[in-house]
Amino acid sequence: MRSAYGESLVNLGTKYSNIVCVGGDTTDSLKTKKFGEKFPERLFNVGIAEANLVSIAAGLAIAGKISFASTYAAFIPGRCLDQIRNAICYPNLNVKIVVSHAGLSVGPDGASHQQIEDISIMRSLPNMRVLVPADAPSVKKLLEKIVQIPGPFYVRLARPSTEELYPEETDFEIGKGKVVTDGKDLSIFACGTMVSASQKASDTLKKEHGISCRVVDMYSIKPIDADLIYKCTKETGSLISVEEHNIVGGLGSAISEVTSDICPTFVRKIGIADKFGESARDEEIDSLLHKYGLSPKEIVRNALELKKREKK
């Protein structure tokens, strides 16, 4: 996903001469260095000063630029919420915040660098829209969309390489979700790295338990696809949400806000259970995700429990 971001930024920069990028000593990791090599006068590396980073991006937006602001999710929004709220969202400026290293899967840096509250934080801000793509093709397509839509966006990327779920030509709409696997007994809504995990869980549920599970990539968390949530509730009954994020305020909470208003049903939230993460080497990431309930095996277990609950 990071490589897709870097490539897309170069391509978009070629098409739109008013695109600029502001980074914070993570241009190698975020792959925005490629943009700087192509357009050195349009990349601004401000160092480890995230409050300045987003404020400078806001100033460039006032000057008519499409500003991309990028670093690790632990630092944006982790170290500059005040500036995002008051300098970007309140005046509704054209700043696209694209971050990486979100969730638990950041490697050995531990809880201080595992941003698991950002979806909740960012979707609570007026004017901010929140996207969590699942693979490289969706990153590219969503970036093409957001440069054409004025105003702030928050795009959340993960550190690890991810399985490609979509052909390059697949289209994505802001405010919509996408059914990646159809089913009739249960719907799983996932975002980011958890879409592929949910697909694997759906395969197991079908093969080993005879449960036909619909998997929805809910890459647009704000605005969210209320029509699709309603449709799935009516057609498949109970819902499961899966996210590499705290269960408080994230995708599951956003779905529950919809169901409580228009289509009451059970919503089983699978995520990080309101606790901090812990460190793990790259080769231990799968074990860490399993420990925190985010492996395909844990999704299967939760789905079986939910189906039992439906029968009571």
Catalytic residues: 50
The DSSP code sequence of 180-201 is EE--SSEEEEE-TTHHHHHHHH
Cis-peptide into 91, omega within 30 deg: no
Please count the other Cβ atoms lying within 10 Å of the Cβ belonging to residue 48.
12
User: 254 in helix, strand or coil?
Assistant: helix
* Residue 23 · residue 46 · CB < 8 Å: yes
Residues in Cβ contact with 252 at an 8 Å cutoff, skipping those fewer than 6 apart: 241, 243, 267, 269, 270, 271
Both tokens assigned to 216: 């929805």
CA-CA-CA-CA dihedral for 5, 273, 294, 227, to nearest 10: -70
What are phi and psi for residue 50, nearest 5 degrees?
-65, -35
Which element (helix H / strand E) includes 22? strand 19-23
Cis-peptide into 296, omega within 30 deg: no
Strand partners, 254: none
- Report the distance separating Cα 205 and Cα 227, nearest Å: 26
